[in-house]
């Protein structure tokens, strides 16, 4: 799964927006945008929200989901890994 930096970068490129344009629209420096896209520095929440809006995205909060079940995990991983997960879960004292 892509991180927010990769999602932003892909969307920026698809929309034909340069780092300079996104930075100017968000009131940030191009270096801040570059560092964000490359995971090189932290970005303040307000700056992140303004930056995301430059490419038509918004940051939202929602209730966290519970831990996935073994059946849900089996959909995520190949058949070879699932038996290992089930073995670990079936051991006594497994968390």
Set out the domains of the chain in order of their start, with CATH numbers: 4-53 (1.10.260.40), 63-95 (no CATH)
Q: Please say if the pLDDT value at position 92 is more than 70.
A: no
CA angle 2/6/10 to nearest 5° reads 115
User: Quick one: which of 41, 36, 44 has its CA closest to 8?
Assistant: 36
**Which percentage of the chain shows pLDDT scores above 90?**
54
Q: Which SS3 state, helix, strand or coil, does residue 10 take?
A: helix
Q: What pLDDT does residue 53 have?
A: 96
Provide the CA 22 distance to its chain's centre, in angstroms. Answer: 19
Number of CB atoms found within 10 A of residue 49's CB: 14
């Amino acid at each position: 799964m892509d991180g927010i930096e990769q999602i932003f970068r892909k969307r920026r490129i698809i929309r034909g927006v340069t780092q300079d344009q996104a930075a100017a629209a968000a009131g940030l420096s191009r270096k801040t945008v570059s560092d964000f896209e490359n995971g090189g520095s932290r970005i303040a929440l307000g700056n992140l929200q303004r930056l995301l809006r430059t490419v038509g995205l918004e940051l939202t909060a929602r209730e966290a989901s519970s831990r996935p079940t073994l059946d849900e995990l089996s959909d995520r991983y190949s058949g070879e890994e699932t038996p290992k997960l089930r073995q670990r879960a079936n051991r006594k004292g497994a968390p």
